[in-house]
Structure 1
Amino acid sequence: MKKRILIIEDESSIVELLMLVLMREGYEVKSCQSGREAVAMIKEFHPHLILLDVMLPGMDGASIVRVLSDDEQLGSIPVIVTSALAESQKLFATYPQVKDFCMKPFVLKDLIIKVKQAIGDL
């Protein structure tokens, strides 16, 4: 069974690139582009890992992590946060499910290593 990754990102070009790279690595990948649809998609898709942008329409990444951490079933899903703003890393420091932070623009090779570590494939 393939491990599932959900990309929550509002920039289409980033979503397309990440989907291509992660599918090539053997993962089942889905995406959503707004914070509003993210929680419903997480409950439906049951991802093994979430790649989460900080700035999203509808609900920001920090709010999504708060919702996840308050839910018994969703709070254990590992999250890698992506952002162009280094200072946003501090928003996520207290959440144990946030396993890593990846600055944009990211180096794909480094991101893949972080994904494999967070999902337990390394």
Structure 2
Amino acid sequence: MAKIRTGRVGEQIKKELSLLIQTELKDPRIGFITVTGVDVTNDLSQAKVYLSVLGDDEQKTSSLKALDKANGYLRSELGKRIRLRHIPELIFKIDESIAYGSRIEKLLSDIDKDEK
């Protein structure tokens, strides 16, 4: 039962955070960010937010720093939009799975070209 609730809360946080980052945050350090997933602990005290950032490593680190700085604002806005007693602490992490998947796809296409 708890896993169903944490899943629903995680999806709601993902939806609201992506809207907040795109529309509300005006920090120029924040580049093009996509929220790819949110993992919430069973007690809803922490939420790991996985982000995909378009750009190089410097843009990724500057976007993470800007989001860490805006953490309090994001939590307060989430509190206004989601009815929870306690809003989870947000921990931002870079999601490398998209880059990893595109690298694997490129390697497979290179192998396919070599065989032909």
TM-score exceeds 0.5: no
Structure with bigger helix share is 2
**RCO (CA 8 Å, sep 6+): is it higher in 1 or 2?**
2
TM, length-normalised to structure 1: 0.28
